[in-house]
Structures are given as C-alpha cells and as structure tokens.
C-alpha cells in the first residue's frame, strides 16, 4: 500500500525518509517548473531532488499529480498569506505581494492558470477565493474599495495581473504603476 494521497485522507504517516523525499521532490518540482515551465521533464525534477526517477513516481504516480500537488501547496501558502493580512489596505497589500512573487516564480501563475483545466483543485481554489473575499469585505467596510465591486472581478484582476507580471517581466516601477491603475479603479471616486 504505497502513498499517493490524492487529496484529503492522510493514510498511515509516511516514514521519515519518505517524508523528506516527498518534500524535496515538491521543492525541486516547484523550482524546476518555475524555471523551465510546466512541461519541464520529470527526470529533471528527479535530478534536482537528488532522487531516482522511480521515487518521483512512487510519490506522484503521474506528472499531473505532481503538478496538482505543487498547486495545492502553493494555494495553501497564498491562503495563509492572505490570512495574515488585515485592515482596509490588506487587499492591496495582497495584490502587491502576489505580483512580486509572480515576477520570480513562474509556476505561481502558470499553475494558477491550469487550476481550472486538467488539474482538479476546486476546494483549494475555493479556499483562496474565500480568503480573498474576506479581504475584499474588510476593504469595502473600510471604504478602500467601492461597494459595487464583487469578488469575481477582483479574482480576475488578481490572476490577470499575475500573469502579466509573469510573462512581461516587469521591473519594479512598472509593477507599481500598473497596480496603481487597478487600485485607483477599485477605490471609491474621490468625492
């Protein structure tokens, strides 16, 4: 009975070495996919993780499973990050952080993009939306964001701007000005 962990159930706890390898693989995969894009080879992941190819497939029986796992980890991290933010400016802060990450971590976005496609991660994505919803509510309560703005377009803007940052390779100033426009669009009209 090997260890695949498709989603919720944890099964018996992994042996220490297996856990270590699983983590290493996940990290290597994140790096590799970030550098080479989503169709980097699984062998490369194995090489960087310092394990044999078979080990990767023991933990993630399919390349897609590996991608899904990275994605899940990534989304969880984002949710956690969102959870730490508070107050009316939290939403904007979140945008900034994410975009900054996107600039360096190709996978953040490339994978986010596939979330709705081959990979099936509805709940993980759902949790992110929820967290984002919280930030939006706070921002609207604090008067930082117009009340008519709804969650879907905020999500859409977030993803868009991450993609843009990723593929465009924005330098710092550009990133700030681009977000500036979006933030201005979210704020209530100066009265």
Partner DNA sequence: AATGAATGAGACTTCATTCAT
Partner DNA sequence: AATGAATGAAGTCTCATTCAT
Question: In this chain, which of 25, 79, 131, 149 binds its own copies, going by CB under 8 A?
Answer: 149
Contact between 107 and 30 under an 8 Å Cβ cutoff? The reply is: yes
Greatest extent of the chain over all pairs of C-alpha atoms, in Å: 65
d(CA 75, CA 92): 18
Question: In this chain, which of 16, 147, 169, 172 binds its own copies, going by CB under 8 A?
Answer: 169
Per CB under 8 A, 133 contacts its own copies: no
Decide whether 20 or 177 has the Cβ nearer to its own copies.
Answer: 177
Question: In this chain, which of 62, 86, 130, 160 binds DNA, going by CB under 7 A?
Answer: 62
Question: In this chain, which of 6, 11, 116, 126 binds its own copies, going by CB under 8 A?
Answer: 116
d(CA 43, CA 45): 5
Contact between 56 and 42 under an 8 Å Cβ cutoff? The reply is: yes
Number of H helices, E strands in the chain: 9, 0
Interface positions with its own copies (CB under 8 A): 1, 39, 47, 112-114, 116-117, 149-150, 152-153, 156-157, 159-161, 163-165, 167-170, 174, 177-178, 180-186, 189-191
């Amino acid at each position: 009975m090997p260890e695949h962990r498709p989603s919720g159930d944890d099964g018996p706890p992994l042996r220490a070495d297996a856990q270590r390898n699983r983590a290493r693989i996940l990290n290597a995969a994140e790096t590799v996919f970030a550098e080479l894009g989503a169709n980097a080879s699984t062998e490369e992941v194995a090489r960087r993780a310092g394990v044999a190819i078979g080990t990767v497939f023991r933990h993630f029986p399919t390349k897609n499973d590996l991608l899904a796992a990275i994605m899940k980890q990534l989304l969880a991290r984002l949710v956690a990050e969102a959870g730490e933010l508070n107050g009316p400016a939290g939403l904007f802060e979140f945008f900034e952080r994410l975009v900054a990450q996107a600039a360096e971590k190709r996978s953040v976005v490339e994978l986010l993009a596939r979330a709705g496609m081959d990979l099936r991660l509805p709940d993980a994505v759902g949790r992110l939306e929820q967290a984002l919803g919280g930030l939006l509510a706070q921002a609207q309560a604090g008067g930082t964001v117009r009340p008519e703005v709804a969650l879907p377009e905020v999500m859409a803007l977030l993803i868009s701007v991450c993609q843009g940052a990723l593929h465009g390779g924005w330098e710092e100033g550009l990133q700030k000005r681009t977000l500036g426009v979006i933030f201005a669009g979210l704020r209530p009209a100066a009265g």
